[in-house]
Amino acid sequence: MNEEIKAMIDKMVENLNDMAWSDYHINLGAERKARAVEKEDRIVLRIDCYTLHGKYKGNYKAGYYDLKNERYVVGQYDDINAETSEWLK
């Protein structure tokens, strides 16, 4: 992954972290953390939610970056567009 893509992913994760606490749609769990998880040929973006005691409660999907085609993709079942920081549902 080149530096330009890495910087873009980092910016999206930063935007998702801000959104995790400021968007009223995101209300699952007391602790929330945006993540970028690399899987094979894509980087999946999401906000993971936990209880105060660290028990996993669920996540909000925020699309993925396709490394093969070098583009950000928002799927039909995603909750958030990480590129524009917009709630989709």
Q: 7 φ, ψ to 5°? A: -65, -40
pLDDT in tens, 14-25: 999 999 989 888
Average pLDDT, the chain: 93
Low-confidence residues in the chain, pLDDT < 50: none
Q: What are phi and psi of 68, to 5 degrees?
A: -70, -45
Question: What one-character DSSP code corresponds to residue 12?
Answer: H
39, 23 in Cβ contact below 8 A? no
For the chain, how far is it from start to end, CA to CA, in angstroms? Answer: 31
> What pLDDT shows up at residue 13?
96
